Amino acid sequence: MIVDRRNLLIGSASTAGLMIPGVASAEAAGVGSLPMPAPLRALPEPLPVEDPSRISLDLGWLFHEGDIVPPPPADHHATYLNAKAGNARGAAAMDYDDSDWSRVRLPHDWAASQPFVETANISQGFRPRGIGWYRRTIRLDPADRGKTILLQFGAIATHATIWANGSIVAHNWSGYNSVEIDLTPFARFGDELNVIAIRVDADAMEGWWYEGAGLYRHAWLTVRAPVALITDGVHCDPRQNADGGWSVPVEATLFNVGRTPGQVEVQASLLDPQGQTLATRRVPLEVPALERAVTSVSIPVADPALWSVDQPTLYTVLTQVLVDGRVVDERRIAVGFRTLRFDADQGFFLNGRPLKLKGVCIHQDHAGVGVAMPDGLVRWRLERLKAMGCNAIRSAHNAPAVEFLDLCDRMGFLVMNENRVFNPAPDYMAQLEWLVRRDRNHPSVILWSVFNEEPMQGSEAGVEMVRRMAHAVKALDDARPVTAAMNGAFFEPINVSSVVDVTGFNYYQGDYDRFHALHPTRPITSSEDTSAFETRGAFASDPRANVITSYDTEAASWLGRYASQDLEGDHGSALRRRRLRLDRV
């Protein structure tokens, strides 16, 4: 049978795929075949539970599209009450009537269900966003009185104000970081229900791509012992020693919500891929009331199996808090033993061997669901990327969902983990530090990127900003290099490549050799080198209908400009065309 490109493209766009004689299924076709996989007959295996104290809060939410603005206080007494804790008004009030609101489950992106509106922002996909409200109630067991009680959101797009029982408990100014609220001092128990209200302003934009709207990642209620590990409170990234041996340094941070100092023991165990305990260390720790305390141990490992893109072998660090010999809190964190380095002359090395990074830059949204990506769809996307030979992913241009990284660890992807806002001011530095604390145990993460294409990249101020942000990263994780995705200023006398470990090149492929000649000790990586697009199943471009051919002949109009900073004339144009063709093969 002859398969031409038109039929091949039609097949890749269809649900059933291209049925080739002699190939019964996509699995039989082997890695790299274009047909889509057969539908699963059962749910995929869930990701292992890292924190058993968490309870899913994805169900039970009520949603109202549009803002609800309460009238201003009518007199002095109303103004007085308005300033008091627990006295929120309008949709944040505890007794607000939300009986006509819609029931939704998380993840939820209300912009994904909006109609296309020609006057809406083009970068946001012509989808109106606006303002929305969420509410729900939570019943807490009286037996949980005195425990640590937290409310956690994977992310909220975009600006959010959160109330608990009529009091503001959080403001959040980014759509990409997680939000954690300590409900302990506000909590009510038994039949006295807790009322959670959230106002989300999705008109605020942080990017120039589709960002969605609402509670678009998972939510959790966490109930822990009075003395317990904090969220992201275990750092256990394996390290290779100078003699070639391995160890797992485990640093644990605990907090005590109790009224008296807590006397506990912290025990760290290393489990092999089969779940068998290899070694255990235990230390005592006193945690003052309403304070944090930190302790650390080191677990030696003789000859671990290494983590790689082809064999992503994972061990588990089990960290437990014990009171009078009884386990009251624990975390199970997957770790991988691997080394990485970027060499200025020879490129990237994983476990001492050169490895070509075959990567993609991907945003977190998907057709049909917007940014409210179910875990199964994230897995499906990664499976398709793996099948086509991809081994590296840049989280463009923001912190990804933690479930994405969990799957990358297990499937063998290398990740450039990217910060969203380039700004060392306290609010934004806190977002960067959160990113590193959350993700520094993942073996898939090989680079921290502090920015993408910033106009200040060739200025003294930009250098000082990167220097401070890189320092903050290194204070939390000294095992991974820091990069910045630059789109120019490489040859300015002052530019940020001087203060990062690896220089990220967005386009400008024609300048790689020149930069290397000028800075032979600075490693570089292609952080982004293609911006192409298509309408799947279309075979001719029709700009009036916003249709782009699938024949891979279209690319962003500005792409040639970024082939080189000093390509001019006919030679430069020819070289740009040639590089564009190569980049899109």
Instruction: Give catalytic residues, as residue numbers.
Output: 453, 528
Q: H/E element holding 86?
A: none
8 Å CB contact between 448 and 477: yes
Q: List the structure tokens of 327.
A: 């386990």
Count of CB atoms situated within 10 Å of the CB of 275: 9
Helix, strand, coil tally for the chain in percent (to 5): 20, 30, 45
Helix axes of 375-387 and 402-411: crossing angle, nearest 10 degrees: 40
φ, ψ dihedrals at 544, nearest 5°: -65, -30
Distance CA 263, CA 65 (A): 48
Q: In a 3-state reduction of DSSP, which class is residue 297?
A: strand
Distance CA 291, CA 189 (A): 24
CA dihedral of 577, 582, 584, 585, whole degrees rounded to 10: 140
Strand partners, 132: 65, 200
8 Å CB contact between 250 and 236: yes
8 Å CB contact between 80 and 89: no
Cβ neighbours of residue 497 closer than 8 Å, sequence gap 6 or more: 484, 486, 490, 503, 515, 519, 522
Alpha-carbon distance values, 233 to 11, 183, 222, 436, 485 (Å): 48, 18, 14, 12, 29
Q: List the structure tokens of 343.
A: 């060499």
Alpha-carbon distance values, 483 to 250, 450, 498 (Å): 26, 7, 11
Q: H/E element holding 476?
A: helix 460-476
8 Å CB contact between 556 and 481: no
Kindly calculate the radius of gyration of the chain based on its CA atoms and give it in whole angstroms: 26
Distance CA 537, CA 97 (A): 48
The amino acid sitting at 128 is P
8 Å CB contact between 563 and 508: yes
8 Å CB contact between 317 and 267: no
8 Å CB contact between 217 and 155: yes
